[in-house]
Amino acid sequence: MDQDSHCTAERELLEAVSRITTSSTRSPSDEEENQPKAEISCQVRKENPGKDDTQDSSATLSPNSSMTTKELQEYWRNEKRQCKQIKLLFEIPSTRIVEHHLSKYVMYKIIILQTGSFDSNKSVIERRYSDFEKLHRNLLEEFSEEMEDVTFPKKTLTGNFTEEIINERKLAFKDYLRLLYSMKYIRRSKKFIDFLTRPELQEAYGCLRGGQYTKALEILLEVIRLQERLTRGNPVAVVPTLCAIVVCHKDLENPASAFEYGEKALSRLCVHTSHRYYIPLLETMITLAYELGKDFLSLQEKLEEWKTKKDPVRVFTLKELAVREYVQ
């Protein structure tokens, strides 16, 4: 392509980009306003809690007019990859009654789906009435104003195990979770996320401490998918779970898989080098890279750079850190 043709193509692309950017700021049509809003997560920008979730990324990121045609194409490809509409749906399709020697209670099966995804991406957990009740009590303490109009199914003295009451509570808890998730500050709160993930994480770390790495890994791989969906605005939050997965793979002699998850964890700590997991993870990654024949010198340089900036302190190994998580 000659120079004039190249310039013409570049001008046309810039004009198209300008039209796209302009159209993204227009007022939504009636049809669009009736569509359910979804949280937009853009890892390329920091979350501004004062802004609405659905704020267009073009307001904070705009293509530089000096970009070449190739750079502009790559820019918009990255935009599409990094900005995704995220919305979770909650279903409670079934229950089961659990009987122990001195207690009897109902477990509610909760299926958490991401809109626009296949069933393979669903997360399945179980919670009992007392778990929901504890969540409600905790949220009332921190979000009294937001929770003012949120109703919670009351306990009954009799009939808790009848089919009618159980079905009523299934519908009530489904609506309850949907409503909580619709409120930005609640769905991002540690208390809400803990309700959906903490019991499974406690079980997984218990297995890890007991040397049951296969069982621990199985649970952690299930939890991490849900954790990542719930913590889109705070990617560092999943670092401990990713590192626990690294530990399990390493002890199960799967260095390639351990390295893969270690890279995911390290990418989330690139600007958080003071995080307690950063140096133990870096040391583990150096060992794994050497074992796998990968480049470990760049990792070694990062470690040495950190040591020159920080005062020498005792640092736990990655496994020592992992086994300390969720210790009661």
What's 144's domain CATH number? 3.30.1520.10
Asked, for residue 168, whether it belongs to a domain, the answer is: yes
pLDDT at 189 over 80: yes
Confidence of residue 155 (pLDDT cuts 50, 70, 90): confident
Long-range contacts of 219-224 (CB under 8 A, 24+ apart): 220/244, 220/245, 220/248, 221/245, 222/123, 223/197
- For 114, the token pair is 């991401």
CA distance 76 to 82: 10
What band does 11 get if pLDDT is binned at 50, 70 and 90?
Answer: low
Residue 25: which pLDDT band, with cuts at 50, 70 and 90?
A: very low
Mean local confidence (pLDDT), 94-114: 93
Residue 7 included in any domain:
no
pLDDT at 67: 55
Distance CA(42)–CA(229), nearest Å, equals 13
Question: What 3-state class would DSSP assign to 12?
Answer: helix
Examine residue 116 and state whether it is found in any structural domain, yes or no: yes
Tell me the C-alpha distance between 287 and 322, whole Å.
17
pLDDT for 291 beyond 90: yes
Instruction: Record the tokens describing residue 224, joined without a space.
Output: 């991490």
250 versus 35: which is more confidently predicted? 250
Is there a single domain that holds both residue 268 and residue 293?
Answer: yes
Out of 15-19, 69-73, 294-298, 317-321, pick the least confident: 15-19
CATH of the domain at 227: 1.25.40.10
- 184 and 211 share a domain? no
Question: What integer pLDDT is reported at residue 15 of this predicted model?
Answer: 55
> How many domains is the chain partitioned into structurally?
2
Distance CA 102, CA 34 (A): 50
Lowest mean pLDDT among 47-61, 177-191, 206-220, 254-268: 47-61
The pLDDT value recorded for residue 68 is 63
Is 157 found in the same domain as 202?
no
| Bigger pLDDT: 73 vs 101 | 101
Please check whether residues 206 and 278 belong to one and the same domain.
yes
Residue 160 pLDDT greater than 90, yes or no? no
Class of residue 12 by CB neighbours under 10 A (exposed 0-12, middle 13-18, buried 19+):
exposed
**Residue 5 forms part of a structural domain:** no
The answer on 206 and 152 residing in a single domain is no
Q: Does residue 260 sit in the same domain as residue 232?
A: yes
Query: Residue 307 has what pLDDT?
Result: 83
Q: Which of 188, 218, 242 is the last residue of a domain?
A: 188
Report how far residue 210's alpha carbon sits from residue 113's, in angstroms, rounded to the nearest whole number: 32
d(CA 121, CA 226) in angstroms, rounded, equals: 9
Give the pLDDT of residue 20.
Answer: 43
> Quick one: pLDDT at residue 108?
97
**Per-chain mean pLDDT for the chain:** 81
Domain that holds residue 294: 198-324
pLDDT of residue 117: 60
Of residues 22 and 211, the one with the higher pLDDT is 211
Is 76 a domain residue?
Answer: no
pTM: predicted TM-score of the whole model, two decimal places? 0.73
The mean per-residue pLDDT over the stretch 7-28 comes to 47
Q: How many CB atoms lie within 10 A of CB 220?
A: 26
Per the structure block, which two tokens stand in for 32?
């669009």
pLDDT band at 312 (very low <50, low <70, confident <90, very high): low
State the pLDDT at residue 233: 84
**Residue 65 belongs to a domain:** no
Residue 141 lies in a domain: yes
Instruction: List the 123-128 sheet strands across, edge first.
Output: 88-99, 104-114, 123-128
Q: Does residue 259 share a domain with residue 178?
A: no
pLDDT-derived band at 30, boundaries 50, 70, 90: very low
Is 123 domain-assigned? yes
Q: How many helices (H) and strands (E) does the chain have?
A: 13, 5
